[in-house]
Structures are given as structure tokens and as C-alpha cells.
Amino acid sequence: MQATALITHEGPTFACENIVLPDPRPDQIAVQTRYSGVSIGTEFAAITRKLDYGPYPLCTGYQAVGTVEHVGKDATGFAVGDRVYYRWNRVFSLATSGQKVSASQGAHTSAAVLDTQGPRAFVAHLPEGVDEAAASLFVMPAVGLNGVDMANPRMGDRVVVYGCGLVGLGVVAACSHRGCEVIAIDLEANRLDIAQNLGADHLIQDAEAVRDIAPDGADVVFECTGIPACIDPAIALCRTHGTFILQGNYGRHPISYNFLPPHGKRLTMYYPCNDGEAPCRRAVIKNMGTGVLPWHHTITHEVASSDAPGLYRDILNGEDKNIIGAVIRWF
């Protein structure tokens, strides 16, 4: 079974190439991809070796939406034609040239063979009415929701979201749903515009302006940039006995931050990991369907699969600062 995939080679360079997928086992389904969502933070951390997802060449991408084309006899609950959303596509290992591909994520492909059973399997039905492009970016709001659920900010709390990439925007939305007063901080005005659409009450480009809103500091601060140098400035925005969440992924190398400020403030600190698994994933998809989470506002770029290498070059080189949410169209 052949398909097309976005492949990253050492350099890094990007190309769309043919790959070979195995025939589905009885407990698997085959899916024709409609959209795959780009995770700029995690994927480019892997592409630039901040995270180790295997040797080059790589096939990245861990979130997609597609249509079921084949159902194995033991893959219960699915039928041909079903719309589904899923994580990963890890079953292939060879390009048609015979070169091995690291498919630790592997969702940026025109087709996928998916496990329906086991602890790492996740594929679920996409409810009617949910926008496919927005749904293909379901992981980042689920990551944000998982962090919010862990930290448990309460109604009326003043919450700072430090960094409004897709994960930060997911935090903005989840905190707004809880009735928090949300202070969104980012250097880029276009990100703050989206934060406002998702429920942010205050839009700030200079973190010092937080003192005008919360003179004693915020009740809760989410550091969402994943940049180690941002941890100390974000901690400074938290009140005494406040809550601080290291929501970003800071990579595989050691990081440091000043001990005394959080120690003196007696902060409670959280380190959420991943996207909360099925409960958070289903929650954000449900909220997209009901309109509670207007996630389509985050999509700034939609490209055909043939144009995906150019998009990735632009992201890598920082040539388009307006890219926030990007999806690849495979049909």
C-alpha cells in the first residue's frame, strides 16, 4: 500500500515522497487523510534535534483527520466512510526508495494504517458538524486543557498566559470557559487578536503591564513559550501563594531558573505532560462541534500537500511571522 508523506532529511530539508504502508492487520483500519495539523513547537523541536524522535529522514506530525477506507475484521466500531481523528501513524518504516524513515509520529501522510486496540492506540469518530481542518489541530488545545485541568484555576482567578502559540491559545480558551479573568501576553499582535476571539480579557505585549491589572501578581501563571529564558520573567508575574505552570516543552537538555523567587512566594508549581489522553481530546473536539471552542480562528495557513515542503522551509527559516495554526490538505 503506497502513500505520499512529508519527509524531513538532514540539513534539514523537506520533500514530499512516496512511502510504503503495510496491509492493515485484523485489528487495524486504513484511513485516507483529509487534513493533518502542524505542531510548530514539537515538530520543529524534533526537526532541529531539540527533541530526539529518531535519525533522519523523519516523518513528523501527530494529529490528523481522515476517512476510513478499510476496516479489519477485529476493528470493531468503525465502518468504511466514517470520519475519524487520530494521533500518530507509526506503522511504516520504508520509503519506496528502500530508505528507512523514522516515523515516531508520522501523521503527515496521504494515508494511515491505525491501531484500534492497545494503550497507544487512539482513533475516534469525528462528530458531525466539526470542521475537519480545525479538528486536525486538536492536540494543542487538548494539551492546554490538560494543564488547566491539573492546575484547576477557579472562577474569578486572574490568570496570565505567557505566550500565545497554539498551546497558549488552548489555555486561554480553557481558562475563559472556567470564568477566569484571562491576561494574554505575546509579542505578536496577531496572536493576541486570536486570544481575544478565544476569550482573553486583557491583551498585553509588555509583561510589565500586568501590574496595572494585578498589582500583587496573578493568581495563576501559565508559561507556554517553552523557552527556558522566559521562566524567570513569568514567575515574577505570580502572586505570593500563587500557582505556576510550566506548560511549555523545554526539550531534553537541562534547564535552570532562579530558586529564590518561587521559594519566597511559596508557589505551587505544576509540570503537565502530553494532552491528557482521550478525555481531553474528546472534550476539545466536542467543544469545537458545539461552538464553545471556535478553534478555526487559529488557522492562519492552509496548504496543499505539494506545498508543504515550502511551508516547512518558511517556518524553519522564520520567514513568515504570521504563521500560527497551519494545516496540510491531502485531497
Alpha-carbon distance values, 191 to 160, 173, 185, 194, 214 (Å): 15, 13, 9, 5, 22
Q: What is the pLDDT of residue 96?
A: 76
Task: Check residue 98 and give its pLDDT.
Answer: 82
Closest CA to 281 of 79, 154, 138, 182: 138
Cα separation of the two ends of the chain:
17
Q: How far apart are CA 237 and CA 209, in angstroms?
A: 10
Instruction: Give the integer Cα–Cα distance in Å for 306 and 139.
Output: 24
Cell numbers at residue 30, please? 486504513
Residue 112 has pLDDT above 90, yes or no: yes
Compute the average pLDDT of residues 318-327.
93
Dist CA 285 CA 288 (whole Å)? 5
pLDDT-derived band at 99, boundaries 50, 70, 90: confident
In contact, 323 and 191? CB cutoff 8 Å: no
SS (H, E, C) 193-216: HHHHHCCCCEEECCHHHHHHHCCC
* Cα–Cα separations (whole angstroms), residue 88 to 8, 40, 120: 16, 16, 9
What local confidence, expressed as pLDDT, does residue 79 receive? Answer: 98
Residues in the chain: 331
Question: Residue 319 — pLDDT band, cuts 50, 70, 90?
Answer: confident
Q: Name which of 12-16, 45-49, 176-180, 218-222 the model is least confident about.
A: 45-49
Is 94's pLDDT higher than 80? no
Q: What is the mean predicted confidence (pLDDT) over 14-31?
A: 96
How does the average pLDDT of the chain come out, rounded?
A: 96
* Overall average pLDDT of the 214-219 stretch: 98
Q: What is the pLDDT of residue 234?
A: 99
Cα–Cα distance measured from residue 186 to residue 164, given in angstroms and rounded to the nearest whole number: 6
pLDDT (0 to 100) of residue 104: 76
- Residue 172's φ and ψ, nearest 5 degrees, are -55, -50
Q: State the pLDDT confidence band at 92, using cuts at 50, 70 and 90.
A: confident
The predicted pLDDT at position 153 comes to 99
Query: What is the predicted pLDDT for the residue at 13?
Result: 98
Average pLDDT over residues 44-51: 92
Residue 245 clears pLDDT 90, i.e. is over it: yes
Q: What's the distance, CA 45 to chain centroid?
A: 13
Distance between CA atoms of 327 and 306, rounded to whole angstroms? 12
Question: What is the value of pTM for the model shown?
Answer: 0.96
- Pick from 177, 112, 168: nearest CA to 143: 168
Could you tell me which of 289, 274, 329 has the C-alpha nearest to residue 125? 289
Which domains are seen in the chain, by residue range?
2-126+294-329 (3.90.180.10), 140-270 (3.40.50.720)
Mean pLDDT on 4-16: 97
pLDDT for position 321: 85
Number of neighbouring beta carbons within 10 Å of residue 157: 19
- 257-314 confidence digits (pLDDT tens): 999 999 999 999 999 999 999 999 999 999 999 999 999 999 999 999 999 999 999 9
How far, CA to CA in Å, does 237 sit from each of 125, 213, 248? 41, 11, 17
* pLDDT at 252 > cutoff 90: no
Measured CA to CA, the distance from residue 49 to residue 12 in angstroms comes to 10
What mean pLDDT is predicted for residues 118-144? Answer: 96
Angle in degrees, CA 28, 6, 78, rounded to 5: 20
